[in-house]
Amino acid sequence: MVSQRIKDQLKEETAKIKAQGIIPGLAVIIVGNNPASRSYVNSKKKACELIGYYSREYALPEETTEEELKALVQELNQDDQIHGILVQLPLPKHINEEMVINTIIPEKDVDAFHPANVGKIMIGNFDFLPCTPAGIMELIKESEIDLEGKHCVIIGRSNIVGKPMSMLLLHKNATVTICHSKTKNLKEVCKEADVLVVAVGRPQMVDASYIKEGAVVIDVGINRLSDGRLVGDVDFDSAEKVAGAITPVPGGVGPMTIATLMKNTLTAALKK
């Protein structure tokens, strides 16, 4: 698996810089009891252990105030053991996510969510790549898919996936369309796609009828059904009959997001 290879590489590099006295450190903050967030945070911690990073988790109660959370981030901004700060989203409704993200210093913003980092991504000269979009680009590269001139359609315009994804594809000379909940003729637009990236958060919404024969389908969704099964935003069994290539859920994009986060943490430590 690509993600495993990246983690193995990072492990090797980490062993080398540890010999020089640098231990990459990641602080992960989770607020409240969102089960999906808990599962992501556990995976991030596990990856740190595997690679040999120092990691620290802050599991804060649901009723944490914005001021308390900001104070913790400010403390971590100054903490020399910590090179990357990750605040798991979504945050409880009473906390302004934007305010919290803006509090993380850009040098430790391993999610690349801070406006300074978002701006750099837009320009194409960045320190950190946004984790999920960069993970997807790595999968595309690994599959030797040439993006130049291709029509890439993204469903979803979030700051975490849709918007930064469009920029990374654009930097590779793709023609990019971003669709969202107000898009007219969604199915017809998707059927034009050579590469379809689905990040809507609706279980199995996209089936074969959205997909052009031979298209590359990238499923960013992770949804838990009432029977406990994990499924993507794409109906895999239907879609794989027409797609030229398709990422599974679980095991497709998710592990790549974590691999990029680990890469960014090493980058942050080396820059320091």
Catalytically annotated residues: 44, 88, 111
- Should residue 88 be labelled a site residue for ligand GUN when binding is judged by CB under 6 A? yes
- Should residue 160 be labelled a site residue for ligand GUN when binding is judged by CB under 6 A? yes
Closest to 198 (Cα-Cα) out of 171, 231, 234: 234
- Should residue 132 be labelled a site residue for ligand GUN when binding is judged by CB under 6 A? yes
With residue 168 as reference, give the H or E element that holds it.
helix 162-171
- Should residue 131 be labelled a site residue for ligand GUN when binding is judged by CB under 6 A? yes
- Should residue 268 be labelled a site residue for ligand GUN when binding is judged by CB under 6 A? no
Q: In the sheet that 84-87 helps form, which strands lie side by side, from edge to edge?
A: 54-60, 25-31, 84-87
Q: What is the contact mask toward ligand GUN in residues 58 to 87, using x (rule: CB under 6 A)?
A: ----------------------------xx
- Should residue 169 be labelled a site residue for ligand GUN when binding is judged by CB under 6 A? no
- Should residue 217 be labelled a site residue for ligand GUN when binding is judged by CB under 6 A? no
Query: Rounded to whole angstroms, how far apart are CA atoms 200 and 222?
Result: 10
Q: What is the contact mask toward ligand GUN in residues 234 to 263, using x (rule: CB under 6 A)?
A: -----------------------x------
Q: How many residues bind ligand GUN (CB under 6 A)?
A: 9
- Residue 80 CA to its chain's centroid (Å): 25
Q: What is the 3-state secondary structure (H, E, C) of 94-150?
A: CCCHHHHHHHCCHHHCCCCCCHHHHHHHHHCCCCCCCHHHHHHHHHHHHCCCCCCCC
Length of the chain, in residues: 272
The residues facing 55 across adjacent strands are 26
- Should residue 89 be labelled a site residue for ligand GUN when binding is judged by CB under 6 A? yes
Structure tokens belonging to residue 201: 């958060």
- Cβ at position 221, least distance to ligand GUN in Å: 11
- Should residue 101 be labelled a site residue for ligand GUN when binding is judged by CB under 6 A? no
Q: What is the contact mask toward ligand GUN in residues 109 to 128, using x (rule: CB under 6 A)?
A: --x-----------------
Structure tokens belonging to residue 243: 């797609």
Q: Of 55 and 132, which CB lies nearer to ligand GUN in the complex structure?
A: 132
Place of tokens 């790595």: 138
Q: Of 120 and 151, which CB lies nearer to ligand GUN in the complex structure?
A: 120
| C-beta of residue 196 within 8 angstroms of C-beta of residue 218 | yes
- Cβ at position 11, least distance to ligand GUN in Å: 21
> Site residues (CB under 6 A) for ligand GUN?
86-89, 111, 131-132, 160, 257
